[in-house]
Amino acid sequence: MMKLLLLLAVLAGFFYVMGAKRSRPRDPEQRTPPPPAPPQAMLCCEECGMHLPANEALPGKGGVFCSAAHRASFEARQGSA
Ligand SMILES: [Zn+2]
């Protein structure tokens, strides 16, 4: 009787370990989808007001710009005024 209980305990432990192995992937990093990109700071072109992410903004005198052309025209206007 004690041997049967011991056998059951061993079997239960065996299946418990197998189940735990199966439910836990070896590399959880590969299973999870990549996190969404961090929110970009949105800036505003001083010339046309277009919103653009900070990494695409062109810094210039008086603000940031969507393009070199807008930066040039804005700075030209600032210089003349
Ligand atoms: Zn612009």
Residue 68 in any domain: the answer is yes
User: How many angstroms is it from 68 CA to the middle of ligand 1?
Assistant: 9
56 touches 64 (CB < 8 A) = no
Q: Kindly report whether the global pTM for this prediction surpasses the value 0.85.
A: no
User: How many angstroms is it from 36 CA to the middle of ligand 1?
Assistant: 28
pLDDT on residue 11: 80
Structural domain total, the chain: 1
User: Which H/E stretch holds residue 79?
Assistant: helix 68-80
User: How many angstroms is it from 54 CA to the middle of ligand 1?
Assistant: 13
pLDDT 10s digits, 11-43? 887 788 888 777 666 666 667 888 887 777 899
* Domain hosting residue 55, numbered range: 41-81
User: How many angstroms is it from 77 CA to the middle of ligand 1?
Assistant: 14
Residue 53 in any domain: the answer is yes
pLDDT at 81 > cutoff 70: no
Which residue bears the tokens 């903004």? 57
Residue 9 in any domain: the answer is no
pLDDT on residue 4: 82
Residue 81 in any domain: the answer is yes
User: How many angstroms is it from 6 CA to the middle of ligand 1?
Assistant: 78
